[in-house]
Homo-oligomer: A and B are copies of this chain.
Amino acid sequence: MIDRPRRFGGWTGALAGLVAVTSVAAQEAPPLQVPAKSVPVPSDVSPQMAKIIGAPLRSNWNIQPKTGEAWKPVAEAGAAALAKLVPGMLERLKVKVERTTIDGVRAFILTPEEMPPENRNRLLVHVHGGCYVLNPGEAGLPEAIFMAGFGRFKVISVDYRMPPEATYPAAHDDAITVWKAATRMADPKNMAVFGTSAGGALTLAMVLRAKQEGLPLPAAIAPGTPMSDTTKVGDSFVTNAMLDNVLVSPDGFCDDGAKVYANGHDLKDPMLSPVYGDMHGFPPTILTTGTRDLLLSNTVRVHRKLRDAGVEAYLQVGEGQSHAHYIRDDTAPETRKVFEEIAWFFDRHLGR
């Protein structure tokens, strides 16, 4: 049994610094004092997912590189580690990948060994995550491989420019350049865009920008746990802090990554905080998050905004999962189910 707390130890108020940041509109009630917790790995997940959920907090979550040059070695070390996992993923999921350049933008083309007839005229565009500073090259591929493999779609994954090579709007420009090119390769009615975290935000931003520029829209999108609000508004930035073992804190590495990419550009611009964008006319959208995700609120807020705009929008939430846990291990049944759900949604909304 849990005793009702009447006094609090030294860590009370550890997150109190967030109050000033998140309470943009003053809400009168005093903050709730939540005691420290010892949180076990949930029993109702697969052994593979239990391993991901049970991992300690990301070791470098509180580094705060302030320049693109300072990010570079961090990104390179992370990418080298991730890239090693790619060949195994490609083999297990029977996906082939080739590097290419599309209208000057670096990209990869992923093709499943077997493509069902209904997917032969379909084409997906993928934008990877990593706080706009991480996962260059092959390191950005896991989610694209999972989608190509579990969904058996052809996928173009955009290896967009990041700091120190370039800052905002370079990644956005590269993504929209590839989108434009892709709409000449297939019928946009047969196409979808997807991505996780910064890639989820880019997915939403691509639709906002396509609307602005009068470009064809995709027939569906799948933003996974999108960084939809870089201004730190969202309840789970507080409630899931120090619980999400990937992003860990709203003041952690990802915040600095986004700021370095923004390079002074207003973070409330819907291009960087798409939850503030006008979502009328958006294509059907499937959103993915987890119960421990620091961006749980930023995902459900996008869902609500889409529904308010009359858009068909569908939400899936992974039990016990922190930020983007579903793009870690293709052998976890939870991973397969997330991508099968997205594939089901795409199949429902894409032409053939």
Contacts and interface: CB of A to CB of B under 8 A. Distances in A.
A231 B242 CA distance: 27
Contact of A315 (B25, B317, B319): B317
A264 interface: no
A243 B9 contact: no
Interface stretch (A28-36, A102-110, A116-124): A28-36
A124 to B, nearest CB: 21
A51 interface: yes
Contacts of A3: 14
A251 interface: yes
A43 interface: yes
Identify the interface centre among A7, A18, A252, A291: most chain B CB within 10 Å of its CB: A291
Number of copies of this kind of chain in the complex = 2
Contact of A27 (B35, B41, B307, B337): B41
A56 B315 CA distance: 30
A24 B45 CA distance: 11
A50 interface: yes
A142 B303 CA distance: 26
A197 interface: no
Contact of A301 (B18, B44, B57, B252): B44
A263 interface: no
Given A320-B297, A337-B304, A34 B29 contact: no
A35 B54 contact: no
A329 to B, nearest CB: 15
Interface stretch (A167-175, A184-192, A233-241): A233-241
A331 interface: no
A62 interface: yes
A226 to B, nearest CB: 15
B44 A15 contact: no
B39 A31 contact: yes
A34 B44 contact: no
A2 B36 contact: no
Identify the interface centre among A24, A32, A314: most chain B CB within 10 Å of its CB: A32
Contacts of A1: 17, 62, 249, 251
B5 A27 contact: no
A32 B238 contact: no
A43 to B, nearest CB: 5
A238 B240 CA distance: 12
A10 interface: yes
Contacts of A296: 291, 317
A319 B307 CA distance: 14
Contact of A35 (B7, B17, B36, B53): B36
Contacts of A36: 8-9, 11-14, 33-36
A100 interface: no
A181 interface: no
A80 interface: no
Contact of A42 (B9, B16, B297): B297
Contact of A54 (B17, B27, B252): B27
8 contacts: A2-B249, A11-B36, A14-B37, A27-B42, A32-B38, A33-B39, A37-B239, A315-B315
